[in-house]
Structure 1
Amino acid sequence: MRGPAGALVLHRVPRNPTAAVLLLHGGRAEGLEAPPRPNLPGLRMRPFARAIAGAGAARGVVVAEVRYEHRGWNGHRADPVHDVWQALHELCCVAGPLPVVLVGHSMGGRAALRAAADPLVRAVVGLAPWCPPGEPVLHLGDTAVVLLHDEADRVTDARGSWDYVRRARARGARAAGIAMPYGGHAMLRHAPAWHRVATDTTLGLLGLAPLPEDLFTGRVPAPPGPSRGLAAAGRVSGLPKRWS
């Protein structure tokens, strides 16, 4: 059972909030124990929280993160998804029924995509998300999805992200993939570019900033061919011109 601390960790609550961003860090495939302290995957999301909170267009945006009860996904239990739902409930109690963008990395990206059916969720931004084959897309409905992935990522497979985008589009969802030309899974190399693209995309999905006109209609990134390999793929920019 969840402890008294709850699932919602608030970073910034404006006086008159108009929208919210919930950040979800990565984890493990299996692990019933609580996330460790210090929680390095959680710390990696803090620069994203600061970048979003510091954007001028985000003055009315609540910025918060989801606290996990368990470290892992844990098969059919999908534990972090329940944490997202709990955090959304707590957010509604604190600030009312605001439109929410979920920003999730790795396992947190998978949890965000699974929780996209919640009526508060307007969009999902996945950072190097874990998208196994057959990950469901039918529940997306009107929820927009933008997945950022470096094709040189050796922890989660960018091909899974691009396949997810294609299947979501085929079912009528607004979905897009952005091939990041660097960063790997931890998004550390050229980290400011990840922070900038994630922030601009998040605010754009909330209607607070412009998005590339062809974001949801443009070409879905193609997986690297056998002659390119992972290392070569990591050097090829797939960013829209405004972010290059």
Structure 2
Amino acid sequence: MKDPLGRLVAHDLRGTMPDEAEGVVLICHGGGERGYGPMPWWEGPVLRMRPFAKAIERRAGNRLAVVRLKNRYFGWNGAEQTPLLDARWALEQIRERYAGLPLALVGQSMGGRVVLHLAGEPDVKAVAGLAPWIADGDPVLGRPGLDVLLMHGTDDRVTDPRRTERLAEQLRAQGADVTWRPVEGEIHSMLKHPRVWHREVADFVTGSLL
């Protein structure tokens, strides 16, 4: 596949995919508002999500498949919503291998925006939005039976924790089981208190799917 500048780009998946899995976790990384620069596996937003995958794997063992998505591009790119398209592609691959299993979606920043857009998918049981980018006009897809974890650093200056708290209230009003977790003193990178983020996400995902 080629990007608008004619460069070859590709989305990709990595992770553990045991045959005996009882559920699947899809992890989506962050990015920016615009950008068609390719996203290699060693870029910061992609690498930032690897410890979440490892924490879930340690907690769940072979009971969960844990898959990280690498997007084609850096940006959201307006109406094209390129990372959302990539995540839908990833879900197709997962459903082909694990038909009928419940899904949990975990995303940070732009990835948080992606997973919140996918919360209405019928096989999605749980969604974790970490310092999510929430924009005016984005869907609010709460429903009974959906477990939601929203975490945000109180010192985040990239995305707005107040928007995330309001979203928690809206999702709860629609019937979702919502946990709102502000992380005191944390910034957007989640690097001041990494163990808090990793532990709470792993607890949430395994508690919801297993």
Common fold, TM-score beyond 0.5?
yes
Shift in CA distance, 2/48, structure 1 to aligned 2, threshold 3 Å:
farther
Is 2:10–2:71's contact at 8 Å kept on the other side of the alignment? Answer: no
Matches within 5 A, 1:43-58: 43-55=47-59, 57-58=60-61
Q: Aligned residue for 1:21?
A: 25
Give structure 1 regions of 4+ aligned residues with deviation exceeding 3 angstroms.
Answer: 1-8
CA distance in 2 between partners of 1:202 and 1:2 (Å):
35
CA distance in 2 between partners of 1:37 and 1:120 (Å):
27
Q: Among 74, 79, 99, which residue is 2:77 paired with? A: 74
Superposed CA deviations along residues 154-187 of structure 1, whole A, max 9, x for unmatched, are 1111001011111222233332311112431111
Which structure is richer in relative contact order (CA contacts within 8 A, separation 6 or more)?
A: 2
Q: Aligned residue for 2:165?
A: 162
Distance apart, 1:189 and its partner CA: 1.1
Matches within 5 A, 1:35-184: 35-36=39-40, 38-55=42-59, 57-137=60-140, 139-142=141-144, 143-184=146-187
Counterpart AA for 1:19: G
C-alpha RMSD over aligned residues: 2.1
Q: Aligned residue for 2:34?
A: 30
Q: Does 1:12 align with 2:16?
A: yes
Number of residue pairs aligned between Structure 1 and Structure 2 = 205
Distance apart, 1:8 and its partner CA: 4.8
Is 2:107–2:130's contact at 8 Å kept on the other side of the alignment? Answer: yes
Q: Could you say which structure has the larger radius of gyration?
A: 1
Structure 2 gap segments, 5+ residues each? none
Q: Aligned residue for 1:188?
A: 191
CA distance in 1 between partners of 2:61 and 2:205 (Å):
10
Distance apart, 1:10 and its partner CA: 3.0
Distance apart, 1:140 and its partner CA: 3.3
CA distance in 2 between partners of 1:92 and 1:37 (Å):
23
Structure 1 gap segments, 5+ residues each? 209-244
CA distance in 2 between partners of 1:29 and 1:98 (Å):
32
Is 2:115–2:127's contact at 8 Å kept on the other side of the alignment? Answer: yes
Q: Aligned residue for 1:240?
A: none
Is 1:8–1:64's contact at 8 Å kept on the other side of the alignment? Answer: no
Q: Aligned residue for 2:200?
A: 197
Is 1:165–1:177's contact at 8 Å kept on the other side of the alignment? Answer: yes
User: SS at 2:73's partner residue?
Assistant: coil
CA distance in 2 between partners of 1:98 and 1:80 (Å):
23
Distance apart, 1:23 and its partner CA: 0.6
User: SS at 1:59's partner residue?
Assistant: helix
Counterpart AA for 2:183: M
Superposed CA deviations along residues 132-151 of structure 1, whole A, max 9, x for unmatched, are 244321x3334322100111
Counterpart AA for 1:166: E
TM-score for the superposition, normalised by structure 1: 0.77
Distance apart, 1:93 and its partner CA: 1.6
